[in-house]
Amino acid sequence: MTIRYRVPNGSGGAEARLTVAPLAERFGVRAVGEVGLTTRRIWERALDEVVRNGRDVCHLELSAVTFVDVAGADVLVDAARRLPVGRRIVLHRPPPALCRTLELFWPDLSAIEVTTS
């Protein structure tokens, strides 16, 4: 699965983009771009597939994600909450603002693990 989404910015500025593609070395996806109002549906679809897959651990490589709004973080939390007990999502190199948002609003959510590797 590779999902690409680009939305023109009406003000003539840069386009909002989010690309999601499977990881080659382990189960999960690599996201590139930003998660916001215009790209949230792609994020939701990718996370829905993660939940439906049934693997114990899903890896999300986020080192190339530049921005995740609070609603995008909420989509991630919703996906994690739908996982059966014992399954988890591992975030690799997420943007610092996403880590702060998760810590602030969902500090005790054990189904999401954050790693810098």
CB distance 83 to 51 below 8 Å: yes
Provide the 3-class DSSP secondary structure of residue 23.
coil
Q: The tokens of 77 are what?
A: 């939390």
Of 100, 91, 86, nearest in space to 43 by CA: 91
| Model confidence, pTM | 0.85
Residue 90 burial by Cβ neighbours in a 10 Å radius (0-12, 13-18, 19+):
middle
Determine the pLDDT at residue 16: 72
* 5 has pLDDT over 90: no
In CATH, the architecture of 3-115 is 2-Layer Sandwich (3.30)
CB distance 50 to 41 below 8 Å: no
* Helix (H) or strand (E) run with residue 28 in it: strand 28-35
Determine the pLDDT at residue 50: 85
In this predicted model, what pLDDT tens digit does every residue of 32-69 receive, in sequence order? Answer: 999 999 999 999 999 999 889 888 999 999 999 999 99
- Rounded CA separation 110/105 (Å): 13
| Confidence grade of residue 116 (pLDDT, cut at 50, 70, 90) | confident
Mean of the per-residue pLDDT values for the chain? 88
- Please report, for residues 4, 55, 94, the alpha-carbon distance to residue 99 in angstroms, rounded to integers and kept in the order given: 24, 24, 7
Of 47, 39, 117, nearest in space to 82 by CA: 47
Per cent of the chain over pLDDT 70 is 87
* 10 has pLDDT over 60: no
